[in-house]
Structure formats: C-alpha cells, structure tokens
Amino acid sequence: MVKAITTREFDYTLLEERGLPEAERTVFQLRRLTAEERFKLQDGMATASDAGQRLHPHLGDMTRQAILAGLLGWHNLTDEQGRPVEFKRSTKSLNVLGRNCLPPEAAMLDYFGDGTLAELAAAIQDGAVLSEDDAGN
C-alpha cells in the first residue's frame, strides 16, 4: 500500500554512519522538497544539443539546488580536531526552485565530498524514504 509522506522536515543520518553508536553520528536536519520543487529540479536535469542527439546533464546544479533548498542544519558535526562545526545560514534570501529561503552559507558545502552531498540531495528529494534493507541497518 502506498503511504502519504506528510512530514516535511526530518532528521537524516548518512548511510555510512548508521552502524555507529548514536553519540558518534552526525544528524542532518533536512526539508523534503515539494512536488512542485521536484518538478522544477527535474526540468533542469539536462539540455540537448546537436539537434537533440546529445544530452548534457546538469547533475551538479541539481545537487546544489536541492541542498540549498533543503539543508536546514546539523548536529554532532566535528572537524578533523574534533571541534564542533557550527551550521551557518546566509543572511541574504535566495530564490531556489521558486521558493525564497535563507540557504546555508556557501562555505558550509565545502565541508563535504561529492558523495555526501549527493546522498543529502537524494534524501531531500525523496524525503528519506528508505527501502526495507536500508531501514534494517
């Protein structure tokens, strides 16, 4: 049976950290994109060239837009020396996917590799819907 996803904001732990003790996990606060925001994101996925013979994907821009629209904060993130890393928002409103928001400061995204950003963007788009295998981990 299909279940409606009614929670817009949620906590998310990266797949690689789910086996760690709870005190050692970083928890990200995310906001699930609305259907309209997901449609706008998908519209920008790729452009065609050479009379439609070649597609040019825009995966980096899709990831960036999802993160800017959906990353609300984190707790228990530390740097290499074990010091807490504070989440900071921009003080300037930005229109992302048709919605005005105060996104994370640009430097916040520099803390993470491509794989982490891609996983967070996917969770933001899907609302952290997990398979039964993922939920068991």
pLDDT digits (tens, 9 = 90+) for 84-126: 999 999 999 888 877 888 889 989 999 999 999 999 999 998 8
Residue 4 lies in a domain: no
Q: Distance between CA 89 and CA 102 in Å, rounded?
A: 6
Stretch 67-89: mean pLDDT: 94
- Which residue range is the domain that position 124 belongs to? 9-130
Residue 20 lies in a domain: yes
Residue 87 lies in a domain: yes
Q: What is the per-residue pLDDT for 131?
A: 42
Residue 56 lies in a domain: yes
Q: Distance between CA 90 and CA 85 in Å, rounded?
A: 16
Q: Distance between CA 63 and CA 101 in Å, rounded?
A: 16
pLDDT digits (tens, 9 = 90+) for 38-64: 888 777 554 555 555 554 444 567 888
pLDDT band per the 50, 70, 90 thresholds, residue 14? very high
Q: Is the pTM of this model over 0.85?
A: no
Neighbours of 104 (CB within 10 A): 20
pLDDT band per the 50, 70, 90 thresholds, residue 129? low
Q: Which amino acid is at 12?
A: Y
Residue 137 lies in a domain: no
Stretch 1-12: mean pLDDT: 82
Stretch 3-10: mean pLDDT: 79
Cβ-contact 38, 16 below 8 angstroms: no
Cβ-contact 31, 19 below 8 angstroms: no
Statement: residue 12 has pLDDT above 70: yes
Overall domain count for the chain: 1
Q: Distance between CA 117 and CA 57 in Å, rounded?
A: 17
Residue 124 lies in a domain: yes
Residue 31 lies in a domain: yes
- Alpha-helical regions (H) of the chain: 35-43, 59-70, 106-109, 114-126, 132-136
Residue 39 lies in a domain: yes
